[in-house]
Structure 1
Amino acid sequence: MTITIRSALMKNFLGDSPDWYKWVIISFLLLNPLVFFLVSPFVAGWLLVVQFIFTLAMALKCYPLQPGGLLAIEATLIGMTSPAHIGEEIANNLEVLLLLIFMVAGIYFMKQLLLFLFTKLLLSIRSKMLLSLAFCGAAAFLSAFLDALTVIAVVISVGTGFYAIYYNVVAKQADNNSQIADDSLIDNPEHQQIMEQFRSFLRSLLMHAGIGTALGGVMTMVGEPQNLIIAKNAGWGFVEFFLHMTPVTLPVFVCGLLVCLLVERFRLFDYGTKLPEPVREVLKEFDRKASAKRNRQDKVKLVIQALVGVWLVVALAFHLAEVGLIGLSVIILVTSFCGVTDEHDIGKAFQEALPFTALLTVFFTVVAIIIEQQLFSPVIQFVLQAPPSTQISLFYLFNGLLSSVSDNVFVGTVYINEARAALEQGLISLKQFEMLAVAINTGTNLPSVATPNGQAAFLFLLTSSLAPLLRISYGRMVWMALPYTLVLTLVGLLCVHYALVPVTEWLTQWNWISPPSLNVISSVTAH
């Protein structure tokens, strides 16, 4: 059947995305120049921001790089910003790009160790409450030093592996993971019931781990990409960033763990399912066979990766080099001592990070547009007219609301730039700027667990091959995240409003953190 050129173009445009989505993006591209030239650049700028957030919210229909990139290119062409300004934003945030490129790739080569640890964790703890707490806590600890996407990728790999092991046993087939989505091969009603229980068990562990990446990721400057941007603007190192966030993040972390225990204890929000005993026996037998096959060379690799992990933590804690360079050192050390020398094997490590790195570069283009068109000035002026203590709470709430429907990296970048601009104009004090930086960081990281749009780790889980196996849908993720969303958001708000200022003053008094003038002035001068 012959198709017209128009039909061929539409089929190629944005690939397998729904036709309605394609037409929406086309209408955006047609509308923006008309609004920019005939109505107002300010209105056109806000329209573009809304459109870009729409592409983030519709990430399951099409990865936002393509539609968001088209909008950014068009906006640059019609004069909303300039290539030079975009280059400046990228240069100012080069550390973030290096973090994504090298740190994620570096942790890729440590997956063997991480998989080993999570496997032992699951099989050694029989109590579901303690196991859930361990998964949430382990994911939080790892995300504080590593990348949340990498941590959730490891958990997904573990979940997929365990699911495939039991499936192949009950389906009576060899190790063939290509058919694990075919439920028709499980014809025993008892096995079907156990499989449903196993799915619910794994689903809850994955959600706990996903929340854990948010609880840990908010604490340090390397936990999330926007953290590094905020730290750079405030002039904070690794330890100082951690201490500044502690008045909010520590109570939130404790309350998050309490929520984990409560939802498991009372079987709320689809939590509480235990690991079926037949599944445990199958997994234990598989682990015994895998341990027997592990030779001395494999064991040495695990030791090497553990030692490099210690180096990673120490290097980050003492800020021995830029974060991206530390990630590069991890790549060099692990590959050198674990026998990875093939160019193609090394190249695979960068596949996870580069798409998001490209998307983040588009973020910076939109940020340049926001700055040039002064889009957030009215909002910032409204917030800055409030009393200083109220300003902090409003920044937290505005960041949280927007992050829950779009992307926290985008929101965090925009707001910290606006806060820095207010500082440079003398609208806020140095001390207030640091408080706002804490509010922005916690606001973008905590309420954003509400939806997969806000947390990249959640979106990664939702779009993974494991999601359909475990019956993980968008709505189910929102439902299971709801108790965490309510508690983390409320506790974070209370800490920002009541605890942040007095605790920070106490830390400064005892020389745990430097006075604002020593940090922020140098940062502002650099910009």
Structure 2
Amino acid sequence: MQQSFLNAFYKNFLGHSPEWYKTAIISFLVINPILFFFVSPYIAGWALVIEFIFTLAMALKCYPLQPGGLLAIEAVFIGMTSPNQVMHEIEANIEVLLLLIFMVAGIYFMKNLLLFLFTKIITKVRSKIMVSLLFCFASAFLSAFLDALTVIAVIISVAVGFYSVYHKVASGADANKEHDHTSDQNVAEFSREELQQFRAYLRNLLMHAGVGTALGGVCTIVGEPQNLIIGDQAGWDFVEFAIRMSPVTVPVFIAGLLTCALVEKLKWFSYGVELPTNVRQILIDFDVNETKNRNKMENVKLIMQGVIAVWLIVGLALHLAAVGLIGLTIIIFATSFTGITDESQIGHAFEEALPFTALLAVFFAVVAVIIDQQLFTPVINWVLTYEGNMQLVMFYLANGFLSMVSDNVFVGTVYITEVKAALVNGQITRDQFDLLAVAINTGTNLPSVATPNGQAAFLFLLTSALAPLIRLSYSRMVFMALPYTIVLTIVGMLAIASGTLESATQSYYDQGLIEHHYGKSTEMDGSDGH
């Protein structure tokens, strides 16, 4: 009876995760108190950080909220940090949580407009290079103002829709009947090669779009969650954040689009796959039919969503309210003017964001441990021994490397917190803090395209129902991201190392585009660097 109970308990623990993964998490939970009480709190703290990064890197085995949350709860329980410190971190970053809760849900109600946009790109533009550039550019532009997860979710919806339309035709299924597009059993033999080519074509577009979310996401304070954390610590609004990042983000953006065109033109890294003529015609016919059947009410909905999108851009650019509150207005406007009044419909919009919001709260618990145990203080002090541009380059590379194997939100949060503490303690000047904030933000956003671990949008794509349909595996994604990883990382580093960032920032000061923050409350608002 006892054996049976223990066996059932073990099977329930972390569900369908591999046995070795369950054993690893249990080992961590056993080892941490031993290290903390009998070896060294400092070593125990570092063990916790490494273990938490492990749960992020193994996100495909188990969503990090559960194992990471267990580690964080244990850390609070044994005294690595306190509930008050965790709450302090969450309160200090409340804008980020509101961004995830309200903005992601708000954009959910504008999916029809985004679906309409990407559908027209695929069906109206014949040049593969131009389609790729448009997908990359549109994803970048949207991700600068919206949430990257929502943008990639919309593109996935477009791809699944088109894939299922063609798959139904290739399988000889009745257009008016339900069809299982996950099975190739009924696909005609002469269509199989065409289907493989269509899958490769969709892989190309989705990877370009994924990189586009990174190119746009790095530019603005709302592009990625860590951007808002960094901007909040620095006291920058939407416009100032974009201006300060521009010496790095503008050349990187141009280099990213050039890379997109180059890999398509030269057919490197599995790119350059054309849309089969027969598939194109099927998709065009589908789009024409959808347009014909769209009634007046649905057309008005699209118009209203366009108007709301303009309000979103204006509200963010003029910093009319906190980002999360602007997201709340999007929910209210988008539901009020598109006929959505049912509570269940509104509730469905929050499903996408809340798991990651909960995970971010766990991030802040680990950050609380890092602060209380002063884990990063020696590392930060070592990097601060470098001077000038080399100091910026070291921060950029350190953030970039960690973001490749971990999560860029976690890395960005940790580093900006420690650098803010260095400012408060008088180790660096306010000008150097501003430059380091740029290096941290670009470091977490650009090299992290290397793996799905670093970018939430990439991980979302990899774990979506579409990935197995188009044969997009982890290794294939890393391979296809490689040219972008190399180009974006190097161009970003050169912009920082060459002194472009420093000289451009000084020029912005002289022109009055941005101002010094000396003496402002944002410079230091607490002894712990918050």
Same fold (TM over 0.5): yes
User: What residue in structure 2 maps to residue 478 of structure 1?
Assistant: 478
1:113 is the counterpart of 2:113 = yes
- CA distance in structure 2 between the partners assigned to 1:213 and 1:469 by the alignment: 22
CA distance in 1: counterparts of 2:308 and 2:335, whole angstroms? 11
Please tell me whether residue 278 in structure 1 is matched to residue 278 in structure 2: yes
Residue matched to 1:53: 53
Letter in 1 for 2:280: R
Shift of 1:390: 1.3
CA apart distance, 1:518: 6.0
Equivalent residues in 2 for 1:415-434, closer than 5 Å: 415-434=415-434
Query: Residues 164 and 177 of structure 1 are in contact (CA less than 8 Å); yes or no, is this contact kept in structure 2?
Result: no
CA offset at residue 184 of structure 1? Answer: 1.4
Partner of 1:179: 180
Partner of 2:506: 505
For residue 174 of structure 1, report the CA deviation from its aligned partner: 3.4
Distance 1:401 1:177, change over 3 A: farther
Partner of 2:395: 395
* Mapping 1:97-176, distance limit 5 Å: 97-174=97-174
SS in 1 for 2:524: helix
The answer (yes or no) to whether the contact 1:145–1:223 under 8 Å persists in 2 is yes
User: Match of 2:161, as an amino acid?
Assistant: G
Amino acid at match of 1:58: M
Cα deviations by residue, 1:432-489 (Å, 9 ceiling, x for unpaired): 0000000000000000000000000000000000000000000000000000000000
Stretch moving more, 117-126 or 99-108: 117-126
- Kept after mapping to 1: 8 A contact 2:230/2:437: yes
Change over 3 Å in CA distance of 1:506–1:177 after alignment to 2: farther
Q: Secondary structure at the match of 2:525?
A: helix
Which letter maps to 1:229?
I
CA deviations 1:8-57 (Å, max 9, x no partner) are 00110000101111011000000000000010000000000000000000
CA contact (8 A) 1:102 1:324 kept: yes
**Compared CA separation, residues 195 and 416, structure 1 to 2 (3 A):** same
Which residue in the other structure is 1:44 paired with? 44
Question: Residue 506 of structure 1 aligns to which amino acid in structure 2?
Answer: S
Deviation at 1:251, TM superposition (A): 0.2
In 2, distance between residues paired with 1:378 and 1:522? Answer: 25
Aligned to 1:63: 63
Deviations for 1:282-338, whole angstroms, at most 9, x for unmatched residues? 011111111111010000000000000000000000000000000000000010010
Amino acid at match of 1:186: V
Structure 1 residue 380 displacement after superposition: 0.4
The one-character-per-residue Cα deviations of 1:113-151 (angstroms, maximum 9, x if unpaired) are 100111011111100001000000000000000000000
CA contact (8 A) 1:133 1:260 kept: yes
- Establish whether residue 495 from structure 1 lines up as the match of residue 495 from structure 2: yes
* Equivalent residue, structure 2, for 1:224: 224
Q: Is the 8 A contact 2:424 2:523 kept in 1?
A: no
Structure 1 equivalent of residue 515 of structure 2: 514
Shift of 1:523: 4.3
CA deviation after TM superposition for structure 1 residue 170, in Å: 1.0
> What is the one-letter code of the residue matched to 2:516?
P
Write the distance in 2 (CA, Å) between the matches of 1:467 and 1:113.
24
- Give the Cα–Cα distance (whole angstroms) in 2 for the partners of residues 516 and 422 of structure 1: 16
> Matched residues in 2 for 1:161 and 1:435: separation?
44
Matched with 1:318 is 318
Q: Closer, same or farther in 2 for the Cα pair 1:260/1:70, shift >3 Å?
A: same
Secondary structure of 1:129's counterpart equals helix
Distance 1:341 1:174 in 2: 35
Take 1:151 and 1:16, find their aligned partners in 2: how far apart are those partners?
29
Question: Hey, what's the Cα distance between the residues in 2 that align with 1:178 and 1:413?
Answer: 45
Is the 1:144–1:219 contact (alpha carbons within 8 Å) kept by the matching residues of 2?
Answer: yes
| Structure 1 alignment gaps of length 5 or more | none
Deviation sequence 1:358-398 (CA, Å, 0-9, x none): 00000000000000000001100100111132111100000
Which residue of structure 2 lines up, in the alignment, with residue 21 of structure 1? 21
In structure 1, the partner of 2:409 is 409
Report the Cα offset of residue 279 of structure 1: 0.4
Contact 2:430 2:523 in 1 (8 A): no
Larger CA deviation: 1-10 vs 214-223: 1-10
- Give unmatched runs, 5+ long, in structure 2: none
2:363 maps to: 363
CA deviation vs aligned residue, 1:206-236 (integer Å, no higher than 9, x gap): 0000000000000000000000000001100
Instruction: Tell me how far apart the structure 2 counterparts of residues 269 and 48 of structure 1 sit (CA, whole Å).
Output: 37
Alpha-carbon offset, residue 165 of structure 1: 0.3
Letter in 2 for 1:88: H
Cα drift, residue 172 of structure 1: 1.3
| 1:468-514 per-position Cα deviation (integer Å, ceiling 9, x unaligned) | 00000000000000000000000000101221000000011000111
Distance 1:177-1:447 versus aligned 2 partners, 3 A rule: farther
The one-letter code matched in structure 2 to 1:513 is I
1-structure distance, mates of 2:2, 2:420: 58
Instruction: Decide whether the 8 Å contact of 1:248 with 1:492 is kept in 2.
Output: yes
Change (3 A) 1:86 1:169: same
**Residues 512 and 518 of structure 1: CA distance in aligned 2, closer, same or farther (over 3 Å):** farther
Between 1:417-426 and 1:384-393, the stretch displaced more is 384-393
Q: Given the superposition, is the C-alpha separation of residues 321 and 42 from structure 1 closer, same or farther in structure 2, using an over 3 Å criterion?
A: same
* Residue equivalent to 1:31: 31
CA contact (8 A) 2:517 2:523 kept: no
Distance in 2 (CA, whole Å) between partners of 1:507 and 1:479 is: 39
Q: Please report how far the alpha carbon of residue 173 of structure 1 lies from its aligned counterpart in structure 2 after TM superposition.
A: 1.4
Cα deviation for residue 177 of structure 1 reads: 6.3
Which residue number in structure 2 is paired with residue 374 of structure 1?
A: 374
* In the alignment, structure 1 residue 443 sits paired with structure 2 residue 443: yes
Task: Give the structure 2 partner of residue 12 of structure 1.
Answer: 12
Q: Which residue in the other structure is 1:345 paired with?
A: 345
Q: CA RMSD for the aligned pairs? A: 1.2
* Counterpart amino acid of residue 501 in structure 1: E
Partner amino acid, structure 2, of 1:135: F
Q: How many residues align?
A: 525
- Counterpart of 2:215 in structure 1 is 215
With 202-211 and 497-506 compared, the bigger mean Cα shift is at: 497-506
Match of 2:89 in 1: 89
Distance in 1, matches of 2:10 and 2:313, equals 49
Q: Work out the percentage of aligned pairs sharing the same amino acid.
A: 61
2:260 corresponds in structure 1 to: 260
What is the distance in 1 between the residues matched to 2:257 and 2:15?
42
